[in-house]
A and B are shown apart, each in its own frame.
Chain A
């Protein structure tokens, strides 16, 4: 089915880049509008650039700018929900779900992409994924968008089987790479030295970033 509008729901600036940028770029190449509902500013991230150029107090503003840049690279709309990094699991799920629903109600997406609760490693990922699914459940069943859930836990296949949606993202890799490096304070730490020549980048691409997979959520 051709999608009309895709909403991506993740808690941290850079989740969209590492987890779904290739898929997002694919939709944009088809002319499908994409809106990113980003939960926090990743204020409590421990990557401060390598060499470090951020500190705990400058990180929020730096990540704000990086997020805007990444969204420009991917050519997507950005909505920020203003929660604080690391605290999403302590917010009432129903409140967060209603907050997300207020955007879904306006945007009326045909597809929502978020984290698979319980299989997303970071407590913010699990909590925001659960709230995203609860938000979609507030929509009348006949009107509900499809939900694709991103699981990153090791050995997820043991419990969940193989993901139904599988993209080899060679066509959109360049966009994905640019979205990742837009998050300069995080990319170096996560990719482990992105300026060490094409071999290393190739290896990282081949091993970690060349496919994006999602589970289709059954309500």
Chain B
């Protein structure tokens, strides 16, 4: 993945506006947070291959913390802490944030077709 280029990502988000898209949204601090530090809590959530249609999409922020907001007819989808992006061979848009050891903290992904598995 490469460092987020705001214009490029915005262009990609625009491409998904107004038509059903598949969403993967996830945040995690790992299954061992409490194991390694008794005062930490395991926290995480993911949703995969949910179809959504949004009529507004924007990336905001700077290199230290980009946010993405997708406005749907009835509500919102939100992610923060994004710093890297990648468009894969299936033309899916992947946005993610990692910690200093390269571990995933947050990711939001969009695709015109369902994500594999």
Q: Is the CB of A122 within 8 A of B31?
A: yes
Q: Is the CB of B117 within 8 A of A84?
A: yes
Q: Is the CB of A56 within 8 A of B107?
A: yes
Complex Cα gap A51–B35 (Å): 24
Most chain-B CB neighbours within 10 Å: which of A46, A47, A51? Answer: A46
Complex Cα gap A124–B44 (Å): 15
- Which of A44, A49, A86, A123 sits near B102, CB closer than 8 Å? A49
The contact size tier of chain A is 20 to 34
> Is B46 close to A, CB under 8 A?
yes
Complex Cα gap A49–B88 (Å): 18
Complex Cα gap A122–B107 (Å): 21
> Is A57 close to B, CB under 8 A?
yes
Interface size in chain B (residues, C-beta < 8 A): 27
Complex Cα gap A46–B101 (Å): 10
Chain A nearest CB: distance from B35 CB in Å? Answer: 5
Contact mask for chain B residues 85-117; partner A; CB cutoff 8 A; 1 contact, 0 none:
010101010101010011111010100000111
Contact mask for chain A residues 135-157; partner B; CB cutoff 8 A; 1 contact, 0 none:
00000000000000000011000
Complex Cα gap A66–B109 (Å): 25
Chain B nearest CB: distance from A117 CB in Å? Answer: 16
Closest residue on chain A to residue B99 by CB atoms = A46
Binds A, one of B11-19, B22-30, B61-69, B70-78: B22-30
- Which of A46, A57, A84, A124 sits near B103, CB closer than 8 Å? A46
User: A52-B1, A57-B92, A122-B32 given as contacts; is B102 within 8 A of A47 (CB)?
Assistant: yes
Q: Which residues of A contact B104 (CB under 8 A)?
A: 46-48, 56
Q: Is the CB of A188 within 8 A of B102?
A: yes
Q: Which residues of B contact A189 (CB under 8 A)?
A: 101-103
Q: Is the CB of B109 within 8 A of A57?
A: yes
Contacting B at CB under 8 A, from A108-148, are 121-124
Q: Which residues of A contact B88 (CB under 8 A)?
A: 55, 57-58
> Is A14 close to B, CB under 8 A?
no
> Is A43 close to B, CB under 8 A?
yes
What residues of chain B have their CB less than 8 Å away from a CB belonging to chain A? Answer: 1, 24, 26, 28, 30-32, 35, 46, 84, 86, 88, 90, 92, 94, 96, 98, 101-105, 107, 109, 115-117
Closest 4 A/B residue pairs (Cβ) = A50-B102, A52-B102, A46-B104, A122-B31
Known: A49-B102, A56-B104, A57-B90. 10 other contacts (CB 8 A): A46-B105, A47-B104, A48-B104, A50-B101, A52-B98, A56-B107, A57-B88, A84-B117, A121-B32, A154-B35
